[in-house]
Structure 1
Amino acid sequence: MLEALDLLIFGIYLAAVIGFGVSFSFRNRNSNDFTTGGGRLPSWALGMSIFATFVSSISFLALPGNAFGGNWNSFVFSLSIPLAAWIAVKFFVPHYRKLQSESAYFYLEERFGLWARIYASIFYLLTQLARMGAILYLLALPMQALFGWSIPLTIGVTGFSVIVYSMFGGLEAVVWTDAIQGLIFISGALACLGVIFWSIPGGASEVFSSAMEANKFSLGSFDLNFSSSTFWMILVYGLFINLQNFGVDQSYVQRYVSAKTDQDAIKSTWLGALLYVPVSLLFFLIGTALWAFYQAQPALIPAEIASKADQVFPYFIVNQLPAGLTGLLIAAIFAAGMSTVSTSINSSATLILSDHYKKYIHPNPSESTSLSVLRIASLIMGLGSILIGWAFNGVNSALETWWALASIFSGGVLGLFLLGFILRKTSSRQAAFAVLAGVLVIGWMSLPAILTLAGKEASSEQPLHSNMTIVMGTLTIFIIGFVLSSVFGRGNRS
């Protein structure tokens, strides 16, 4: 159990984050301040915020767990980020900077009509609700198992804390708290790795020698096989996921347009993307070091914990770290989750104002009305994430549930964006047909996961790995759009 010093550190952290975030409410004089920070944000802080958006409590717990229970196969995902970032700074960042719209989906309306913007916006909001709920639940799960904390209470307290500073502080509060939280969990992870190296008999050399003998640093099979978790499957999957992040994710686009200059936007994108690569490597190294640590000292960990890879890192934090440092690491885990949830709340509120309130209710609201809508939308999305987190309680696999929902909700938007961005002669009707076909492919590929989550058995296995769902959905939309526009021409836009 946590000692008084650890609880004090954690309590101070939560209070400081909320107080610091709310302090920015005095600078939100209009809706532009709330959604873009009024152009006051430096590139390094925006870059740290992009990085913090990449990292969540899922990453903080799952990456060491993957390395502890297996090898470094999942690290291949990080290797795809530099290529995706290069494409982003070459094409996506200048594109959105030129449009200067607070909505990532304004372009889709210009290109294909209002239906495309509504489709992308609604599915983004659904994706964010599922994502925030999954993060809050997965954050609470090890805390309940290791510390006895109530899962619903942990979800509620964490969610409410994020709601408060996101609701009042706007993007400026989100970015600056992201930057601070990013530094906290990087510092905490480095300190944890240092303790492992110091505590293991034989030191760091023992970690590397034993891990090399057990092939723990393997990146997976190099067979050109997309039905299992090979190097090439993870690389392709990572490229498409990161193209979706950089190309059509509202939280990333919002940071592009919030930068002071085009060069600042490019710098922040590179910083956020490239920082994640060594940090994810750090978390994989922690997982491998934990494996070596408990291999050398098996009496230090119960068998039931060792069999649940995602719980090994939290167990080490509570039982092997000195008092005070444990509190810092718990704060770091919460920092990873809170930074991602706050980003989702702010980006979702921005979309609700620009893509829905201004479209259906009031096209030219006053600044006071716009600020009220943004804050109410932040509250609604935050409360919705808490409810979704509570709904996750009891599912067989929260991570698989999130993956299934994310594939269904977000898989078609990247294909639609690439269709409009690359193929200039595709009409609105052709794009709509391509999206429909892509969604059907995504639904078909997601069916085994959906049936499994519902407690039923799938009649047959899919020929491709489930991670390829977004790849096949995107390619289906793009290829069908290309074929239709090539055969029938542009036609009319309606």
Structure 2
Amino acid sequence: MRGLSTADLLVVSAYLLAVAGMSAWFARRQATGEDYFLAGRRMHGWPLALSLVANQASAVSLVGAPAFVALQAGGGLVWLQYELAVPLAMLALIVLLLPALRRASGSSIYAVLEATLGRGTRRAVAATFLVSRGLTLGAVLYASALVVSAALGWPLAAAILALGFVAVLYTTLGGLVADIWSDVLQLVVLWAGCAASAWHLLASRGDELLAALPPERLVAWAPRATGLGDGETFAFLPMLVGGLFLYLSYYGCDQSQAQRLLAARTTRDAERALVLNGLLRFPLVLTYCGLGLLLAGLLQVDGGFASAMAGRPPDALVPTYLVTALPGGLRGLLVAAILAAAMSSIDSALNSLAAVTLEDVAGITPERQPAWLARATTLAWGLFAVGAGLGAAASGRAILELVNQVGSLFYGPVLGVFLVARLAPRAGGRAALGGLAAGLAATGGVAALATGVSWLWWSPLGCVATLLVGLAAGRDAPALGALIWPRRATLALAAMFVAVLAVLVASGARAQSPPPAPRRVACTVAAVSDGDTLRCRQGDRRVRLLGIDAPEREQAPHGARARAQLLALAPVGRTVWLELDVRARDQYDRVLAWVWRPDSVLVNRELVRRGYAVVSLLPPNLRYERELRTAARDAQRERAGLWATDAFACPPEAFRKGQCG
């Protein structure tokens, strides 16, 4: 592991000084809350667009998306399907919500709800925003701290505290105008850092990496699954429909994004910002997903890099690459890029949380808010963010999914309330609040009880439930009224939709050819040690079955039963086939393998399906993760094998650590 060199530190320091100087410069011209929260309503379309793009490309994306593409279960380029929804969402936002948002008189977008649905609805939706955005803010801080911790050798908690301090300092000082212009700088830095890192891999080992890419990671088109109980979270339909609802709510009903639309000089500037965002998002996402794809190839060909990732979570992929493989200077640029992505998300969240707190909760309009009060409120939310970041670090969840799942719980119901206000303004506050409660109950209920349903369906479900209950309770017939479709915006966004769809379909066509069969070596079973370990006669090799963990022999009688199952599947004297993954041996010099019987039964999966082992995956050896997880769900549902007993009340790993009573 290498820390940051002098060149790296100079790059990072130059970036931080530029951001701090920019914030100090803009702070001199702020006297009121309108200056602080809305940049005096003087912003042009193009800086607003770049700010929107930078905000969505957070540290969560730059750390989580490459990890999803390279290592995550069910991952790969399928994440690009999500981007198909962006141009559609931008067009729907321009047509359905932007005119109403531009009529908001203060700095809060939730003021538009009060005019039709009452003060109570405004406060309830604002409170929902405060909860959801406050929670996701911690995950963004955590993602950034992973990189700083790896690069500087700091404890994770110290990195979270340091990053929180820097972000709060410049956001508290400069307000929205500093956020927007620093976002422009940050977008350049994060795109350059990501592109330079990918170029370094291509220039140094491009042919080798591209030849070694796992075929399943190249697939960007999964049109057959639905995500409705089939275990396929990242299929085309849920990503398109769920993405449409989530992005429409994120950009139109989330204060951290829509506040920028209020800061535009004119409605035309706000419209231009949304169109440019719809055009620029896909190339940026393609850049950092491309980096993830190259890192997937690097795991296959670089044993040192694969060993450094052994036993680490997928989200450690980019930080590990940064400190083990990048040369000096580029390390600093990638650190600066991830910091830039983090700052662009954190500054927007802090500024918007403070704006909603003062205007919607405290009831103080922007012109009556002294700048010192706005800064103090921002500081308070900064302290909350640090606490949420420490909590996210303790959760151990994959950050890309974590952030999107939190958003999917709340964004659909909030969008539903805005649509009630748009379609049935006379429905009334009680009807809207009833719809909001129904929507939140629907998303929460599905999340808790219908675990087989993809979380991507939560937003559409919550929105539809809110809208139906709100309209029914309000007894007001929905009416769209006259819709204005700006010609240039419609053509540009429709063309972008077709272009992204063409990329996805082309990927799907390439994926139709079957991948080459993996190399397997023969093993004549000499002995079976326990439920997940055997010995081969060839070279007296010990083999640890990948992806599973069976009860230890000391866990009587469960360990003996698990060993008996492996012995039945791979009897002594029988020849089986060992399929190696990325990492070939563990710290005990055991061969790590997927074990196949001559009748094409994967022994690892069969032990899980019969209920005699649990899933236990260690990156980068994840080739059959999906099959194992499906088998585990079936075994638990059917109470197969040891699931009919208390064997897994104390999982094997916990038993080895002495954590079972």
Same fold (TM over 0.5): yes
Q: In structure 2, how many angstroms separate the alpha carbons of the residues matched to 1:91 and 1:305?
A: 49
Q: Give the structure 2 partner of residue 479 of structure 1.
A: 468
SS of the residue corresponding to residue 226 of structure 1 reads coil
Pick the structure with greater CA Rg: 2
Q: Give the structure 1 partner of residue 55 of structure 2.
A: 53
Q: In structure 2, how many angstroms separate the alpha carbons of the residues matched to 1:409 and 1:376?
A: 27
The alpha carbon displacement at 1:35 in A equals 1.4
More strand by share: 2
Q: Is the 8 A contact 2:44 2:269 kept in 1?
A: yes
One-letter identity of the residue aligned with 2:463: T
SS of the residue corresponding to residue 370 of structure 2 reads helix
Q: In structure 2, how many angstroms separate the alpha carbons of the residues matched to 1:109 and 1:341?
A: 28
1:320-335 maps to which residues of 2 (within 5 A)?
Answer: 320-335=325-340
Q: Give the structure 1 partner of residue 298 of structure 2.
A: 293
SS of the residue corresponding to residue 225 of structure 2 reads coil
CA RMSD of aligned residues (A): 2.5
Q: In structure 1, how many angstroms separate the alpha carbons of the residues matched to 2:87 and 2:34?
A: 31
Q: Give the structure 2 partner of residue 395 of structure 1.
A: 395
Q: In structure 1, how many angstroms separate the alpha carbons of the residues matched to 2:117 and 2:186?
A: 39
More helix by share: 1
The alpha carbon displacement at 1:409 in A equals 4.6
Q: Give the structure 2 partner of residue 248 of structure 1.
A: 253
The alpha carbon displacement at 1:318 in A equals 2.3
Distance 1:299 1:288, change over 3 A: same
Q: Give the structure 2 partner of residue 344 of structure 1.
A: 349
One-letter identity of the residue aligned with 1:430: A
Q: Give the structure 2 partner of residue 447 of structure 1.
A: 448
Distance 1:342 1:272, change over 3 A: same
Q: In structure 1, how many angstroms separate the alpha carbons of the residues matched to 2:457 and 2:110?
A: 24
The alpha carbon displacement at 1:487 in A equals 8.6
- TM normalised by structure 1 equals 0.88
**Greater RCO, CA 8 A, separation 6+:** 1
Q: Give the structure 2 partner of residue 451 of structure 1.
A: none
The count of aligned residue pairs is: 470
Q: Give the structure 1 partner of residue 321 of structure 2.
A: 316
The alpha carbon displacement at 1:155 in A equals 1.2
Q: Is the 8 A contact 1:211 1:217 kept in 2?
A: no
Q: Give the structure 2 partner of residue 92 of structure 1.
A: 97
Q: Is the 8 A contact 2:106 2:366 kept in 1?
A: no
Q: Give the structure 2 partner of residue 67 of structure 1.
A: 69
Distance 1:305 1:313, change over 3 A: farther
Q: Is the 8 A contact 1:134 1:392 kept in 2?
A: yes
The alpha carbon displacement at 1:489 in A equals 11
Q: In structure 2, how many angstroms separate the alpha carbons of the residues matched to 1:366 and 1:235?
A: 41
For structure 2, list consecutive stretches of 5 or more residues without a partner in the other structure: 480-661
Alpha-carbon displacement from aligned partner over 1:448-486 (angstroms, at most 9, x marks no partner): 6xxxxxxxxxxxx43522232222111111122233345
1:262 aligned residue (262, 267, 290):
267
Q: Is the 8 A contact 1:353 1:370 kept in 2?
A: no
Quick one: percent identity of the two aligned structures?
A: 27
For structure 1, list consecutive stretches of 5 or more residues without a partner in the other structure: 449-460
1:385-464 maps to which residues of 2 (within 5 A)?
Answer: 385-397=385-397, 399=399, 402=403, 405-447=406-448, 461-464=450-453
1:141-156 maps to which residues of 2 (within 5 A)?
Answer: 141-145=146-150, 147-156=152-161
The alpha carbon displacement at 1:391 in A equals 2.7
Q: Give the structure 2 partner of residue 29 of structure 1.
A: 31
Q: Is the 8 A contact 2:150 2:323 kept in 1?
A: no
The alpha carbon displacement at 1:303 in A equals 5.7
Q: Is the 8 A contact 1:134 1:402 kept in 2?
A: yes
Distance 1:489 1:96, change over 3 A: closer
Q: Give the structure 1 partner of residue 43 of structure 2.
A: 41
Q: In structure 2, how many angstroms separate the alpha carbons of the residues matched to 1:57 and 1:463?
A: 29
SS of the residue corresponding to residue 433 of structure 1 reads helix
1:218 aligned residue (196, 217, 220):
220
The alpha carbon displacement at 1:233 in A equals 1.0
1:460-471 maps to which residues of 2 (within 5 A)?
Answer: 461-471=450-460
SS of the residue corresponding to residue 22 of structure 2 reads helix
Distance 1:366 1:219, change over 3 A: closer
The alpha carbon displacement at 1:364 in A equals 6.6
Distance 1:321 1:419, change over 3 A: same
Q: Give the structure 2 partner of residue 456 of structure 1.
A: none
1:159 aligned residue (144, 161, 164):
164
